[in-house]
Copies of this chain bind each other. A is one copy, B any other.
């Protein structure tokens, strides 16, 4: 590559071909191109240096052959934290820190920077803006406070509870005075739930032959709120254990993403008997509440009332394995890829 003064190497993570089940490391490869560290003449966007990239379950869906997804040969797209290197947009200047949708590469040209959030608080780890202070945080906040209509003293169950979203939902519920139980897939994660995040109880679903029995043990009086990150058999068992007027916030169904035909859920008739509600939601629907959320959660973080566990992979080369690992439960806490420190 012949480079001019402002031209540098730009490492990228490329989608090789559409994914059918869950993404695997081999579905991506690392490529190097050249990038000029200046926005093109007349370009109304920004050029950013990516610092932290977020591995999120929804990205698996974007790698399938569906409208609006990532095209083979293109770089992976997802949430991240970045620093503005050059700006053609009046609202952004060099050195601004931002979070939002970016590409999996060292430097990215972003043509609609209006969708980026400017980062104003830097007394907390910058990587938090891929998690507790970013999209997963808004997912937990919108899903729990808005969709679940929680009340003090209610019985709350969270699946994938040590993940990016689950660990927050559990802590929000505890702060509200709920009884909180979480499920996760390793002993280490279960220990985190009980000892670090303050859940009242937790269990390793891989060691439970009968989810219904496990739930009845943890919730002898039933479940008011289920924050569902996994779908499938666990959802089916929860339906049998709902309390009257219970709420199920459907955040995701990671247990099903690898199946071309998702497993059937058999116990929906329980919704009628229990007059229960099941509601799907997306964080983007609650972004207008972000300033309010940020104020609340920064205060909790600074007071030590909420902790956030991250699993940080070093370097863009580690990104394909980190993303794939999300679907097999390799991550402990929020999975982040650190591309550069600053």
Chain A residues in the interface with B (C-beta under 8 A): 231, 235, 250-253, 256, 261-282, 285
Contact = CB atoms under 8 A, between A and B. Distances in A.
Given A262-B266, A263-B264, 7 more contacts: A231-B268, A250-B272, A264-B265, A272-B281, A275-B279, A277-B277, A277-B279
- Most chain-B CB neighbours within 10 Å: which of A250, A253, A269, A280? A280
Contacts of A253: 268-269, 272
From A250, A268, A273, A281, residue with most partner B Cβ within 10 Å: A268
Contacts of A282: 272, 275
A252 B272 contact: yes
Contact of A279 (B267, B269, B278): B278
Q: Tell me if A's interface is mostly helix, strand, loop or mixed.
A: loop
A266 B268 contact: no
A275 B265 contact: no
Contacts of A278: 268, 271, 277-279
Contacts of A264: 263-266
Given A261-B266, A263-B264, A264-B264, A271 B275 contact: no
Copies of this chain in the oligomer: 2
Contacts of A279: 271, 275-278
Contacts of A277: 277-280
A140 to B, nearest CB: 15
Q: Count chain B CB atoms within 10 A of each CB in A231, A272, A276, A279 and give the residue with the most.
A: A272
Contacts of A272: 250-253, 280-282
Contacts of A267: 262
10 contacts: A231-B269, A262-B267, A262-B269, A263-B264, A263-B266, A265-B268, A271-B279, A272-B280, A275-B279, A277-B279
A275 B249 CA distance: 10
A20 to B, nearest CB: 16
Nearest to A279: B277
A272 B271 CA distance: 18
Nearest to A274: B280
Contacts of A231: 268-269
A57 to B, nearest CB: 11
A141 B231 CA distance: 31
Given A262-B266, A263-B264, A268-B265, A280 B285 contact: no
Given A277-B277, A280-B273, A262 B256 contact: no
A272 B256 CA distance: 13
B275 A285 contact: yes
Contacts of A235: 268
A81 to B, nearest CB: 25
Interface centre among A252, A261, A265, A273 (most CB of B within 10 A): A265
A280 B265 CA distance: 15
Contacts of A273: 280
A276 to B, nearest CB: 5
Nearest to A261: B266
Nearest to A246: B280
A227 to B, nearest CB: 13
A270 B261 CA distance: 13
Contacts of A281: 272, 275
